[in-house]
Structure 1
Amino acid sequence: MLAVILSFVILLSFLALSVPVASSIAGVAIIIGTFFSDYPVFTSIGELTWSTSTEYILLSIPFFVLLGEILLHSGMARKIYFALNVWLSWLPGGLMHSNIAASTFFSSISGSSVATAATITTVAMPQGREYGYKEGLFAASIAAGGTLGILIPPSLNLIIYGFLTNTSIPELFMAGLIPGILLAILFMFFIYLNSKYKGSTTKKIQTYTWKEKFSELKNFLPTLFLFFVIMGSIYTGLATPTESAALGVVGALVITYFAKLLTKDVLKKAIEGTMKTTGMIMLIILAANILNFVLISIGLIDEIEYFLEDMNISKYTLLFIVTIMFIVLGLFIETLSLMVITIPVVAPIMLNMGFDGVWFGIYLIILIEMALITPPVGLNLYVVQSIRKKGSVVEVMKGCTPFVLIMCLMAFLLVLFPQLALFLTEFV
């Protein structure tokens, strides 16, 4: 148990000193391995790094990142946003429904919450100001909508969870679909009620004719088709997640080419963004794999399991403890780091307690979603505020509070109705 406490203290110290996340995790692994493990940690690092970096499923990460980058830099995401705005602006809450819907749709292609939040903020904030929306809640709707990127397939975080726990990626993708869409609907329902009963959130109301609505479909349907190609190829068994990601990149290139949006500059920016994001993710995964090896070698997981057996607590009591732990840690640790640090320890214990691995993955992702919009380290809060460049981030934090409570409700619904996540997995 001394090793656990020491690991946590060292990790938080490194992060507080702004040491890069991957270096912090690897540093903890080396220190703990040197003093507490009987295994030759240093001689194992090379083999661990090679075996992790050559995992076929991880090849899907740069492909999905590249797909989102192409749609972002080509301006296709902007077209999607305006098309959804034309169809949804009549609802009480107006553009904020477009924020959630566009985030949901872009999430289903990019797989990244931060990329989704950045994209929608860039497109939406000028529109929000033009129509006089209250900026705190308006910006919060973008930050909250962006969290859907790690739940709605194809989610990079679900791929990482599947890799770390050896869980079927297609089943995780299928399991995330209903909770992701339901969460988006709950967000929009809150916006509807808030706008209807607390007064309009905008000074101007947008109205469009049916002709204008149908005219905008040309900007929406090609990308919708791309989503069905990606997910359909996975669910029908015609392609693995990695192959479908590559197919998605080809599809994005074709769509943007015929839309006359594909240029050398777009490709350059997309490739550069992909290299930066993929490099960051892979370094964290490699470092986490080394730390996992060290923690297993010192018998940490076995010790925790024996401790829980001695306590004789129920599986749902343990689930409650884990829930509180993730909510608290999410306040201070970035989401990807939180996943790779905790999942190798927590997941085996929860699965041994009788929880389904796919269900627990979706439940965990919802808890991790909260970390994206809860201070002081909520990434989406600062992404939205940095692009907004006006007012205080505190306004965005306050606006996000109802959305955090809705995520708690969604997690509770998953416990009451596990089939929300497991129903569609029966068809994989």
Structure 2
Amino acid sequence: MTVALTMLALFILLAIGMPVAFALAFAGTLGLYLVGGWQALSGVLATAPLSSVESYELISVPLFILMAEFVILSGVADRLFAAAATWVGRVPGGLAMATALAGAGFGAISGSSTASAATLSSTTLPAMLKQGYEARLSGGVVAISGTLAMLIPPSIALILYGIIADVSIGALLIGGVIPGILVTLVIIATVWVLVLINPAAAPKGRAYTVREKLASLRVVGPMLFLFMAVTGVIYTGIATPTEASGLGAFGAFLIVLWERRLTRAGLSKALVHAAHASCMIVMIIVCAKIFGYFFTLTQSTQALVAWVGALDVSRWVILALILLGYLVLGCLMDQVAILILTVPIVLPVIKALGFDPVWFGVIVILMAEVGLVTPPVGLNAFVVARYAKRPLAEIFGGVWPHVISHLLLVAVLVAFPQIILWLPSKMGG
């Protein structure tokens, strides 16, 4: 009864618009008081803040966010689309395909899907509309391409999952590489099918000479430098993810200097944005810890694992129900909050069923990608609509084909887990 009352309080607070962190803290405080009284509550409140943020790996979150801000400041992200368009722009739907490639490139040097969506909205969407692309197709591909930063390392979402689940962050980040490439190809294939069905939705672009194509590759240099400074050193075992985050932030700062884009105002803006985003994430982690203590005292997780173990159904049915739950939650809540709220509860069940936690982490992030573009919350769709000044319904209308293709890819990755696990198994020590 206490668990049901506490969960009801949490969902009511979230429904009325209370920030996720404060809703978790309030509901957790209520539950702890009902279960253990003031003594249990005061003990948790005294220790939870420090124990929540003492993890060494947590340092990587603000550093990767700062790296993303420096990448935006350098202007490299803006030129990624132009380079991709030079190579594939002549193909029907080429600019939309270039948007997916630019999203993957930005994801490889940034861990923020929101920053990726905002950057793509201000560069790729106007270019597509100017060339006569259908607005729904354009908005949909921009929104879904922005989510690639959640999966392709360095991914803030995978880092948070690793911290919460106590799983190797390096293995998670490397595990996101092949699925990230596959998602990019799926987006491109979806665009190709949509243009095949309706050729008028995406006219052909202009042709470029070989010299122009080769010249466009200059932007790839800084991207490869940053990718190797982060993912390369993690894969080879030269540096831990936390150390790689410092290298990445410093490397992105060097690119800003190289591009001669460093100004006092720009630096101040990057630092402030990184601090705001980092504080928000840390606040959610601290408040979720309070809520987590409530579940520990009530032994709700152990009871759930025992109940699931007693069910006379296939483990694949249970996994399908869990993923369906993530899909529904993704339509209603912020992805960071979903990870922090659900992983401590769901992961013991996943382990008890015999599934690999690294594999499950990548699958969960893929489901979170879908949640980022589905109504009513769909954060990336809101970001695209705001930055591009387009109707929100138009963006949501354009993402549905991509949602379907994403879910088909999830089914493939569930059926063949080695697609995710092969690359982490080859990592250097």
TM-score by length of 2: 0.96
The 5-angstrom pairing of residues 26-425 of structure 1 reads 26-37=25-36, 40-203=40-203, 205-390=205-390, 392-425=391-424
Letter matched to residue 411 of structure 2? F
1:133 is paired with a residue whose SS is coil
Verify the 8 A CA contact 1:331 1:377 in the aligned structure 2: yes
Work out the CA distance in 1 between the residues paired with 2:196 and 2:326: 34
Q: Which residue of 2 aligns with 1:5?
A: 4
Deviation at 1:37, TM superposition (A): 4.0
Cα contact 1:73–1:269 (8 A) shared by 2? no
How far the C-alpha of 1:36 sits from its partner, in A, is 2.4
Q: Residue 203 of structure 1: CA displacement?
A: 4.6
Residue type of the partner of 2:20?
V
How far does the alpha carbon of each residue in 1:93-119 deviate from its partner, in whole angstroms, 9 at most, with x for none?
A: 121111111111111111111111111
Stretches of structure 2 lacking an aligned partner (at least 5 in a row): none
Counterparts of 1:146 and 1:169, CA distance in 2:
22
Farther-moved stretch of structure 1 (224-233 vs 191-200): 191-200
- Counterpart code for 1:57: E
Provide, for residues 292-318 of structure 1, a one-character-per-residue CA deviation record: whole Å limited to 9, x for no partner: 121111110111122223323321111
Aligned 8 A contact 1:37 1:294 in 2: no
Q: In angstroms, what is the RMSD of aligned CA positions?
A: 1.5
The alignment of Structure 1 onto Structure 2 pairs a total of residues equal to 426
CA contact (8 A) 1:70 1:266 kept: no
Find the aligned partners of 2:259 and 2:75 in 1 and give their Cα distance: 10
CA distance in 2, matches of 1:96, 1:422: 30
Stretches of structure 1 that go unaligned for 5 or more consecutive residues are none
SS at match of 2:199: coil
- What letter matches 2:299 in structure 1? G
- Once the two structures are overlaid, the 10-residue window that deviates more, 409-418 or 6-15, is 6-15
Q: Given the superposition, is the C-alpha separation of residues 130 and 293 from structure 1 closer, same or farther in structure 2, using an over 3 Å criterion?
A: same
Whole-Å separation in 2 of the counterparts to 1:137 and 1:6: 44
Deviates more, 1:192-201 or 1:213-222: 192-201
Q: Deviations over 1:264-321 (max 9, x none)?
A: 2221111011011111111111111221121111110111122223323321111011
Tell me if the contact between 1:161 and 1:339 (Cα under 8 Å) persists in the aligned partners: yes
The structure-2 alpha-carbon separation of the partners of 1:294 and 1:131, relative to structure 1 and needing over 3 Å to count, comes to same
Distance 1:330 1:260, change over 3 A: same
Q: Which residue of 2 aligns with 1:16?
A: 15
Which residue identity is paired with 1:302? Q
Contact 1:64/1:109, CA 8 A, preserved across alignment: no
User: Deviation per CA, 1:223-246, whole angstroms, max 9, x where unpaired?
Assistant: 222112211111111111111111
1:423 counterpart SS class: helix
Which stretch of the first structure deviates more once superposed, 364-373 or 196-205?
196-205
Q: Deviations over 1:18-68 (max 9, x none)?
A: 111100111111011111247713222232211221211010011110111
Q: Secondary structure at the match of 2:22?
A: helix
Partner SS for 2:109: helix
Q: 1:167 is aligned with what amino acid?
A: V
* Paired residue type of 1:11: L
Q: Secondary structure at the match of 2:208?
A: coil
Normalised by the length of structure 1, the TM-score is 0.96
**Alignment-mate amino acid for residue 62 of structure 1:** P
Preserved CA contact (<8 Å) 1:172 1:362: yes
CA distance in 2, matches of 1:46, 1:272: 29
Q: What is the rounded CA distance, in whole Å, between the counterparts of 1:209 and 1:58 in structure 2?
A: 47
